Amino acid sequence: MKEFLNFINGEYVKSASGKTFDNRNPVDNSVIGKVHEAGRPEVDAAVAAARAALEGDWGRMSVVERCKLLDALAIGINDRFDDFLQAEIADTGKPNHLASHVDIPRGAANFQIFIDTIKSVSTESFNMRTPDGKTALSYGVRVPRGVIAVVCPWNLPLLLMTWKVGPALACGNTVVVKPSEETPATATLLGEVMNAVGMPKGVYNVVHGFGPDSAGEFLTRHPGVNGITFTGETRTGEAIMKAAAEGIRPVSMELGGKNAAVVFADCDFQVAVDTVTRSCFENAGQVCLGTERVYVERPIFDRFVAALKGKAEAMTPGLPFDPATKIGPVISKEHQAKVLGYYKKAAEEGATVVTGGGMPDMPAALKDGCWVQPTIWTGLPETASVITEEIFGPCCHIAPFDSEQEVLAKVNKNRYGLATAIFTQDIGRANRMAQGIHVGLAWINSWFLRDLRTSFGGSKQSGIGREGGVHSLEFYTDLRNVMVKF
Ligand code: NAD
Ligand code: 6OD
């Protein structure tokens, strides 16, 4: 039985309370380890260690020295690629082809990309004449914000954690990470790489536990934390913003979505079908950018529904390392019940179930796993629960549309505004739609194609702020103005 310990000041520590909770593998719901739940004493110790590092060796390092360590971290993750892969897959049950092509490589790349950003970013400077005839030079200097709390979800554990730890460290901050209770493994393992590359103690800390009345709440309410960066549900984001209000701490929020794909009749049909298959079903639909509402122009509606049905039915569920596996389980029994609850609701609200709608029939050894069928509905009104609420499962509703204005209005009538994917060969229409849909991220004839130098984040209730490239500096640094008179 594995043990997942907190990582504080460069050391693995149990919780003083002795409290642990189970870490389960969603493919069969078996217990794979015990996680040591951090209480207030461990969170206090982690924040104190992060503060001391800031005021110690780490705080005195030059940008170049910090960047050497970030580079070593990226190399260190890749050197232990297989350990990270096994750990991520055991926690999430995701297929090997996904974890090995997306989660782990991006986990390493997230350290590398911010080296270039931090080394090349500049600030403003102005000269002016003063009333007494002298000169004044004012210039901006970016300083680290301080101790950053990083609160993470379970869907892309290493990728989403390092997406925040990378820029935080590049900018000279120290971090206390609270991974999801569902996926403690890779954040814990990263502590070993931190020590191996010689990262000063206290720069990277990990505390395990839940949200309310546990490590998440203790950390986000902690007065020693200078900023909170969070990825997760919008409702949790609201709770964290309330905690951040105490002491006026800034937040960066990457939250939920109810993303739409819009498929015009003039699209490259195969590209649209293949891409929407990915955006609906990849990672068992547990991608914040994933599509749960598909709008298809009427002339190709029936053909598109039939093609997506074929793709959904070809998504063979199975063990992560079986090359035949196209889809893994969802993260937990609790999440499985939530997704299946929406499947039931869709049927009750009058949906036509094109495919799926329940649990797949799995072999005996996997029967207790958190499996759900890829599911497609048609025929629901725009007010239906599965069209308005985020499900975070492998499912979508497909509706026909007749005009650009009609579909734009439908897509925008939602409280979320994270991402969209538009399929058309008409470049003017593609850009009109991308600029008309209220989202932080718009893909044209593609989906989840990333350039890490660009902004990432959501509009409306999908988030606050942007991270990525130079945009990360807005949150991870404080911009100071210095005025010199001479
Ligand atoms: P969640 O909000 O339930 O949990 C996220 C983290 O917050 C966990 O570590 C949890 O323990 C912690 N937490 C919960 N309550 C807390 C509290 N009161 N105080 C402090 N911490 C607390 O989200 P999840 O179920 O892990 O992830 C799925 C959600 O994340 C979906 O809504 C998805 O859309 C969203 N998500 C968004 C993005 C994005 O970039 N916008 C990326 C990935 C996931
Ligand atoms: O690619 C990224 O940088 C990113 N933050 C992806 C988020 C995916 C959500 O599940």
pLDDT value at position 185? 98
Q: 102: which residues sit within 8 A by CB, 6+ positions away? A: 156, 159
Confirm or reject: Cβ of 257 under 6 Å from ligand 1: yes
At 97-145, the pLDDT tens digits run 999 999 999 999 999 999 999 999 999 999 999 999 999 999 999 999 9
What CA–CA distance (Å, rounded) separates 442 from 439?
7
Confirm or reject: Cβ of 183 under 6 Å from ligand 1: no
Residue 102 CA neighbour count, 13 Å, CB half: 17
SS3 297: strand
pLDDT value at position 220? 98
Ligand 1 pocket test target in 23, 94, 151 with most atoms within 8 Å of CB = 151
Confirm or reject: Cβ of 240 under 6 Å from ligand 1: yes
Strands 477-485 and 135-144: antiparallel
Measuring from atom 9 of ligand 1, which residue has the nearest CA?
180
SS3 125: strand
Confirm or reject: Cβ of 467 under 6 Å from ligand 1: no
Contact of 397 with 351, CB cutoff 8 Å: yes
Span from the CA of 341 to the centroid of ligand 2 (angstroms): 26
Of 151, 204, 159, give the one whose Cα is nearest residue 180. 151
Ligand approaching nearest to the C-alpha of 242: 1
Percentage above 70 pLDDT, the chain: 100
Confirm or reject: Cβ of 387 under 6 Å from ligand 1: no
Residue 21's H or E segment, with its range, is: strand 20-25
Quick one: how far is CA 170 from the chain centroid?
Answer: 19
At 46-94, the pLDDT tens digits run 999 999 999 999 999 999 999 999 999 999 999 999 999 999 999 999 9
User: Is the model's pTM score more than 0.85?
Assistant: yes
Kindly tell me if the per-residue pLDDT of 158 is higher than 90: yes
Span from the CA of 104 to the centroid of ligand 1 (angstroms): 20
Of 292, 295, 317, give the one whose Cα is nearest residue 305. 295
Measuring from atom 14 of ligand 1, which residue has the nearest CA?
211
Question: pLDDT tier at 442 (50, 70, 90 boundaries)?
Answer: very high
Give Cα separations from 112 to 108, 231, 406 (angstroms).
7, 21, 43
* Residues acting as catalytic residues: 254, 288
Work out the average pLDDT over 285-305: 98
User: Bridge-partner residues for 63, per DSSP?
Assistant: none
Confirm or reject: Cβ of 155 under 6 Å from ligand 2: yes
pLDDT value at position 1? 86
Work out the average pLDDT over 23-30: 98
Give Cα separations from 253 to 149, 166, 226, 234, 468 (angstroms).
12, 16, 15, 9, 13
Contact of 448 with 477, CB cutoff 8 Å: no
Q: Which is the closest atom of ligand 1 to the Cα of 463?
A: 41
Percentage above 90 pLDDT, the chain: 100
At 328-359, the pLDDT tens digits run 999 999 999 999 999 999 999 999 999 999 99
Span from the CA of 303 to the centroid of ligand 1 (angstroms): 37
Instruction: Tell me which DSSP letter residue 461 carries.
Output: T
Confirm or reject: Cβ of 450 under 6 Å from ligand 2: yes
SS3 176: strand
At 376-425, the pLDDT tens digits run 999 999 999 999 999 999 999 999 999 999 999 999 999 999 999 999 99
pLDDT, the chain, mean: 98
Strands 459-460 and 30-36: unpaired
SS3 366: helix
Span from the CA of 264 to the centroid of ligand 2 (angstroms): 26
Of 198, 194, 197, 203, give the one whose Cα is nearest residue 172. 203
Q: 459: which residues sit within 8 A by CB, 6+ positions away? A: 417, 418, 438, 439, 440
| Cα end-to-end distance, the chain, whole Å | 67
Strands 291-297 and 395-401: parallel
Neighbouring C-beta atoms of residue 141, cutoff 10 Å:
12
Residue with tokens 């030059």: 62
Neighbouring C-beta atoms of residue 370, cutoff 10 Å:
25
Q: Is the Cα torsion angle 19, 24, 29, 31 positive or negative in sign? A: negative
What CA–CA distance (Å, rounded) separates 287 from 60?
38
Residue 174's H or E segment, with its range, is: strand 174-178
SS3 321: coil
Span from the CA of 160 to the centroid of ligand 2 (angstroms): 6
Residue 421's H or E segment, with its range, is: strand 419-423
Ligand approaching nearest to the C-alpha of 239: 1
Contact of 430 with 438, CB cutoff 8 Å: no
Neighbouring C-beta atoms of residue 346, cutoff 10 Å:
24
